[in-house]
Amino acid sequence: MSKVRTSSYSNTQILQRVYSYVKPYRSLFYFSLILTLLLAIIAPVRGYLIQVMVDKGLKESSAGIPAWLNNWLDKLSGFNVVEFIIQIFIIQIVLLFLETLFRFLFTYITAKVGQNVVNDLRKTVFNKVLSLPLSFFDKTPIGTLTTRTVNDIESINEIFSDGLIPIIADILIIIFTLGTMFWMDWRLTLICLIPFPILIIATYFFKESVNRSFISVRNAVASLNAFAQEHLTGMALVQSFTAEDREFKKFEKINTEHKKANIKSIFAYSVFFPVVEIVLALSIGLLVWWIANFKIEAGKLIAFILFLNQIFRPLRMIADKFNVLQMGIISSERVFVLMDTPCAETAERIPDPWPKTFNGHITFKNVSFEYKPNVPVLRNISFDIPAGRSLAIVGSTGSGKSTIISLINRLYNHQSGEILIDGIDNKDIPLATLRHHIGVVLQDVFLFNGSVLDNLTLRNPDVSFEQVQHATRLLGIHDFIMSLPGNYDFKVLERGASLSMGQRQLLSFARCLIYNPAILILDEATSNIDTESELLIQNAIDTLMKGRTSIIIAHRLSTIQKADHILVLDKGEVVEYGTHYELLAEGKNYAKLYEMQFKNNPA
């Protein structure tokens, strides 16, 4: 079982933090607390009135009824038994109506407060996820984040609907009912409470058993979400290697753990509830025995049976509600651990106002970087790209090409050296400003489920349809889009499954051009393109690069040759730098790469 507690938060601190989100809804929250008090007051009154009706109305006895109440009832009914019973009946109906109304309002308001808190929390958490550094996603399964954002936050809602406030309401009902019972007959009340130690012991073991089961269930749900998310995303790979049976067995194992955890909780419930019924039966049995031996009024017998049911009804559920509360606390802690994860850094040392345009002059000065401590990926990298010029980066797999790109737009922060944009350290530039001026086209194009237009604008209302069409016409892909069913409203399936690789890449180029970046980064953007799309894409690249500082990572000779300079990396170090022909003349690493990759396939 994975660890449940992942921080040093106490339960009290977690609840205080959860209830800090109640502040905008304080009036509703306090109203729900008032309703709990009203429900607790009404609960024993109805039982007591039944005793009064039976003892005074049917037996015409006033034993156990305070003088002031007895006189008031006599005046109310005019000393007529039938009228007296009718009056008590009417009072009971009014109390029942009030209790029903208060319980409806209580249930609705607590649920409403919970949903409002969940709504605010979910927005806060998702906004937090958007601001987390890319390194966090390298270490955290997407399914786990899905569980935090959806399942765990939904569990927080149960703190309100089935947790702390309902527990307070149940405890108040028990206290007021017991108080009424002691006031009516303290000896009889103590007799009824003799079996209670059995219930207390059973409740403790039930709470512990269900709590362990719920923790197992929550961990299994996180594992199921992570496994399903990963395998649904990688389904093509699973099927390509005919790994369906193996992966199904893994899923079956996780699912079985989930089932076993649920069955354990079901077993605990199936034992606990009969124990509660047995204890209730013992209490009623002792009550009847005492009344039969000491000749106490029949009305008191009926009232005490009602009181015992009023006590045992919440007791049946209170242990379960404590477990719901505990699971809400555990879920809250997981959410707060995520919320307390440090965000991507933002700089505050920027002149105000920040310039709206970049020239795009990029300088690396002795930049070093490592993903893991003492495992360097880049070592003392230095180069300079004047504004509007282009640089191609080549090297073997793992040489650090893509890492350089990630450092420029601060998906990761370098440990030493300087990366300057127009002479300003990129760590001193607000992330939103920095990334607004950098356009990135990756090898693996990601398209969202939605229309072509949505994917081009990323649903940015500031981007007009005219801007979109201008960009697509410049790139020469307007006709291709118009040939799709629905044109710009064509439905793109998740990850662009309804389009070819070349079509997806063309849309990614258009998306980049629409935002008109000063710096263009192409990371293997042409590596998976078919021959038919290559010419169109090459023209799109030429259009994109005009007037922009460009960094190209590519294996296509035509793209690399057009770069003003070429940087050759090997094991995180710069081993060559120059133009295409200069590097060929040197006959070193680049020339060997050219010989191996391009000479026999010149296009």
Give the domain CATH number at 107: 1.20.1560.10
* Beta-bridge partners for 553: 523
Answer yes or no: is 265 within a domain. yes
Side-chain half-sphere CA neighbours of 285 within 13 A: 8
The pLDDT tens digits for 59-74 are 545 555 566 566 666 5
The pLDDT tens digits for 552-577 are 887 666 667 778 888 888 888 888 88
Is 203 found in the same domain as 95?
yes
Distance (Å, whole) CA 252 – CA 248: 6
Element (H, E) at 368: strand 362-372
Please state the three-class secondary structure of 141-175 as a single string. CHHHHHHHHHHHHHHHHHHHHCCHHHHHHHHHHHH
* Beta-bridge partners for 569: 395, 574
Side-chain half-sphere CA neighbours of 221 within 13 A: 18
Is 132 found in the same domain as 91?
yes
β-strands 416-421, 424-425: how paired? antiparallel
Answer yes or no: is 355 within a domain. no
Is 408 found in the same domain as 327?
no
Q: Which of 562, 420, 444, 427 is nearest to 496 (CA)?
A: 444
Domain that holds residue 549: 362-597
Q: Residue 240 has which token pair?
A: 């390509």
Is 333 found in the same domain as 368?
no
- ∠ Cα 119 122 126 (to 5°): 145
The pLDDT tens digits for 392-432 are 888 777 788 888 888 888 888 888 888 898 888 888 888 77
Q: What is the pTM of this model?
A: 0.65
Q: Position of tokens 């400003």?
A: 433
Q: Is the pLDDT of residue 480 over 90?
A: no
Instruction: Quickly state the pLDDT bin for 291 (edges 50, 70, 90).
Output: confident
Answer yes or no: is 351 within a domain. no
Q: Which of 12-21, 97-106, 193-202, 527-536 has the lowest mean pLDDT?
A: 527-536
Is 282 found in the same domain as 389?
no
Any long-range contacts for 589-594 (C-beta under 8 Å, 24+ apart)?
A: 590/394, 590/566, 593/394, 593/568, 594/557
Q: What is the dihedral of CA 432, 435, 441, 443, to 10 degrees?
A: -80
Instruction: Quickly state the pLDDT bin for 526 (edges 50, 70, 90).
Output: low
Provide the domain count of the chain: 2
Please, what's the largest Cα pairwise distance for the chain? 121
CATH number of residue 426's parent domain:
3.40.50.300
pLDDT value, residue 353: 47
Answer yes or no: is 288 within a domain. yes
DSSP structure class, residue 490: P
Distance (Å, whole) CA 383 – CA 365: 7
Q: Which of 368, 400, 399 is nearest to 382 (CA)?
A: 368
Side-chain half-sphere CA neighbours of 492 within 13 A: 27
The pLDDT tens digits for 153-183 are 877 887 877 777 888 888 888 899 999 889 8
Residue 332: other Cβ atoms inside 10 A: 22
Question: 145 vs 25, 158, 337, 355, 450, CA distance in Å?
Answer: 27, 20, 12, 36, 23
Answer yes or no: is 183 within a domain. yes
Distance (Å, whole) CA 297 – CA 58: 11
Q: In what order do the strands lie in the sheet with 362-372?
A: 375-385, 362-372, 416-421, 424-425
Show the DSSP H helices in 234-355 as ranges: 235-240, 244-294, 298-339
Answer yes or no: is 9 within a domain. no
Distance (Å, whole) CA 34 – CA 45: 17
pLDDT value, residue 58: 57
pLDDT value, residue 521: 86
Is 370 found in the same domain as 335?
no
Specify whether the CB–CB gap between 545 and 441 falls below 8 A: no
Instruction: Return all residues near 461 (Cβ < 8 A) that are at least 6 apart.
Output: none
Q: Which of 106-120, 209-223, 254-268 has the lowest mean pLDDT?
A: 209-223
Residue 29: other Cβ atoms inside 10 A: 19
Answer yes or no: is 21 within a domain. no
Distance (Å, whole) CA 136 – CA 144: 12
Element (H, E) at 376: strand 375-385
What is the mean predicted confidence (pLDDT) over 186-200? 87
Is 568 found in the same domain as 480?
yes
Is 274 found in the same domain as 390?
no
DSSP structure class, residue 58: I
Distance (Å, whole) CA 481 – CA 487: 5
Instruction: Quickly state the pLDDT bin for 102 (edges 50, 70, 90).
Output: very high
Specify whether the CB–CB gap between 207 and 323 falls below 8 A: yes
Is 311 found in the same domain as 384?
no
Is 550 found in the same domain as 502?
yes
Is 333 found in the same domain as 369?
no
Is 427 found in the same domain as 303?
no
Instruction: Return all residues near 61 (Cβ < 8 A) that are at least 6 apart.
Output: 55, 297
Answer yes or no: is 3 within a domain. no
